[in-house]
Amino acid sequence: MPRIHTGAIPSPNIWNTPAVYETENRAVDPEGLADARLRELRPWTGATILDIGCGTGYHLPSYAREARAVIGVEPHGDLVSVARRRCAAVTNVTVHTATAQALPLPDASVDVAIARWAYFFGPGCEPGLRELSRVVRRGGAAFVIDLDGSRGSFGRWFRETVPQYSPAKVEAFWTQQGWEREELDLRMAFETRADLEAVLRIEFTPKVARAAASEVAGLELPYPNVLRWRRF
C-alpha cells in the first residue's frame, strides 16, 4: 500500500497512474507560458521556491536552475520517493512528505509558493491558504495554476466528469479571498495519439474520455487554465 500522509486529499490521476501523468506533464504548455508569466509577476532568481503538491517532482529541477533553494511538498509517499530520486543530483532541492494544510516549514521562510493543479481549487482549502500566509515572507508571492472549468472543451469535459464542481462558486471563493487572476490559454501537445487518449482516460470518466477522443483530431488539445496570485 502507498504511504499517504494524514489529511491528504486524493489526486486519482497522478496517484493511480503516475507514468501517464508524466506523459501529461511533458505535453502541457510546451511554450512555457505559465512559468514565464510567474517570473514576470515575481522573479525567482535567488529565491526560495515552494512547490505544493509536487508529485514526482517534474518541475523541481527547472526551478532549481534559478532559485537559491527549492522545497517540494507532496502527501503521497511513493511519489515523494520518485521526486527525491529525480532530484538526487540537484543539491538545492529538498522534498517533504506533507500536506498543504500542514507545511513543515518555518514562518516567513519562502519567497515564491507555487501550486500547479494541486489542492487550491476553491472552497475547503482555507487551511492551506492560512499556511501560505504563515510561510511566505514579506515581498513574496503565492501562485495557483488550475484548470479553468468554465472554458473550452476541456472545461466542459471536466464539468461532465465532476458535476458537483461549480466554476461560479470557485470564482466567488477566490474573489472573497482577495486573490488576483488572469486566464492562461495553454495547450497540450502529444507525440502519439495513444498518449493523448491515455491522458484523457486519467482525467475524465470512461464515457467522457471516449467522447472527448472522438472530438479531438490530431495530437493537440487546447487547455484553458487560470492563474491566481497573491503578494505578501
- 122 pLDDT more than 90: no
Average pLDDT over residues 84-103: 97
Average pLDDT over residues 26-52: 97
Give me the pLDDT at residue 22, please. 97
Average pLDDT over residues 164-175: 94
Report how far residue 212's alpha carbon sits from residue 9's, in angstroms, rounded to the nearest whole number: 26
Among 134, 164, 165, residue whose Cα is nearest residue 148: 165
Which residue intervals of 60-147 are DSSP H helices?
Answer: 60-64, 77-86, 126-135
Give me the pLDDT at residue 1, please. 57
How does pLDDT run across 180-231, given as a tens digit for each residue?
999 999 999 999 999 999 999 999 999 999 999 999 999 999 999 999 999 9
Give me the pLDDT at residue 8, please. 82
Average pLDDT over residues 114-137: 93
